[in-house]
Amino acid sequence: MRASYKAYEDVATNCSGYEKSSGKSSFTDRVSDENSVSCLNCKHFDEDEHCVLDLYDKVAESRGISPHDTEM
């Protein structure tokens, strides 16, 4: 995992491109609540843990979230 659960939640909550995935992904089991907002359940987050819209770093930086926070 490239970032903490909290970082993924904070970024997704503040991301204009967030769209909840309609299906089950390889990350779905990592999200504690199926209704939570997280990069891990965003349809733009790929299997390599990258935002295909290239928004993660931009959102993290603008919100003061360490983009590569690995604290779990």
Q: Which residues neighbour 11 within 8 Å (Cβ) at sequence distance 6 or greater?
A: 3, 39, 56, 59, 60, 63, 65
Q: Say whether pLDDT at 25 is over 80.
A: no
Look at 20 and 26; give whichever has higher pLDDT. 20
Q: How confident is the model at residue 22 (pLDDT cuts 50, 70, 90)?
A: confident
The pLDDT assigned to 69 comes to 54
Q: In this predicted structure, what is the pLDDT of residue 11? A: 96
Cross-strand partners of 20: 42
